[in-house]
Amino acid sequence: MDVDQSVSQFVAAFGRPPAGAVRAPGRVNLIGEHTDYNDGFVLPVAIERQAVALHASRSDARVMFRSRQADEPAEVALDDEIVPGEPAWANYPKGVVAGLREAGAPLVGCDVLFDSDVPVGAGLSSSAALEVAAAEALLAAAGARREIADDELVRICQRAEHAFAAAPCGIMDQSIAVMARAGHALLLDCRSGETRYVPFDLHAAGLALLVADTQVAHAIAGGAYAERRSQCAAAASILGVASLRDVTDRQLADAAADGVLDGVALMRARHVVGEIARTLHAVEAVTLRDWALVGELMYASHESLRDDYEVSCPELDAIVEIAEGCEGVHGARMTGGGFGGCAIILADAARADAVGERIASGFAERLGRRCPIFMTGAAGGAGPVTV
């Protein structure tokens, strides 16, 4: 991303240079899919793709939003009611304005220009990156960043996505965008909000993390995602627990044997219970640098998401199958909510280029087009950018 070009566009749009800039990263999830809204554990990593927000305060009570990825600007009056509307892209930052105002943040009018190289619809949390970048910019313009704690900022951005974009996401995406630490994954307990940084220095380990984009649009605002949430809630209710986080392997086996839980409800519960266990096991494996075991858990996660949770697609399955046959690959799985988006591949760094080429060409052989692939390290979380 060329920040200098963004500065030039800010000047062209607003007639003055920005006073500052902030960034927020996208993410991949190493393991722990569809566990966040079940009060489970997730293990995301911030990627080296990011949203940047350039900002400068104004003398009035208006917030002007522009994006280098969208033609239509948007405006919010801080002293008026804030509601979703058009253009659709601006509902994410508008929701953040509404949430910060409700939290009592001393906002001021400002001009904000966004730029992002996080692919939209790829399951890499482009929306969370936009929300967190917006929050950081609004608070920086007001000189009020320290007045909102990180965990509160996460919740504000999550509520913005729920209320203004009708996307019922958990807290993982916003949490990693705000709290990520370079060279680490983040173990997040989605019930308590407790976090633990897990060393994940790919360079030191001689590893590479590849992200392969199916270019099949992923949208958690769609009905299939909400349906999975309701199916999990129904399974938890049948089992008499607050959430599937509270179900043990024994309880699940007994419920299946007794016919208390069957069909789709059993499949969804089996994935969530198993995925929570796999995530905690993966933390131990990463800590021990047991990359073969990490890979086994990644493959098992993908199989469960494909078969029990039914959120994969032929394109994601193709990437994982091709990767599994490549020398130097430890593991692969879909990442994000599914129904498209991206898969990740953990491979030896020395073989990364060859693995990427084999996956892209194999994908083209099966599906008639190459899939874009990029390499990423574990990046840091939101913060200022020098302009």
Question: What positions carry a catalytic annotation?
Answer: 173
Peptide bond into 73 cis (omega under 30): no
Q: Under a CB-based contact definition with an 8 Å cutoff, are residues 302 and 174 in contact? A: no
Which DSSP helix (H) or strand (E) runs through 152?
Answer: helix 150-165
Q: Under a CB-based contact definition with an 8 Å cutoff, are residues 243 and 236 in contact? A: yes
Q: Under a CB-based contact definition with an 8 Å cutoff, are residues 179 and 232 in contact? A: no
Q: Under a CB-based contact definition with an 8 Å cutoff, are residues 187 and 163 in contact? A: no
Q: Under a CB-based contact definition with an 8 Å cutoff, are residues 102 and 111 in contact? A: no
Measured CA distances, 234 to 68, 74, 243 (Å): 42, 39, 9
Measured CA angle at 376 (ends 180, 378), to 5 deg: 25
CA 210 – CA 332 distance, rounded (Å): 9
Handedness of CA 144, 51, 28, 91 (dihedral sign): positive
Closest CA to 229 of 39, 29, 28, 30: 39
Structure-token pair, residue 298: 């990644």
Closest CA to 275 of 240, 239, 302: 302
Phi, psi of 330 (to 5 degrees): -90, -40
* Half-sphere exposure at residue 158, Cβ-oriented, CA atoms within 13 angstroms: 20
- Cα–chain center distance at 115: 17
Q: Under a CB-based contact definition with an 8 Å cutoff, are residues 135 and 81 in contact? A: no
Tell the burial category of 85 from Cβ atoms under 10 Å away from its Cβ (0-12, 13-18, 19+). Answer: exposed
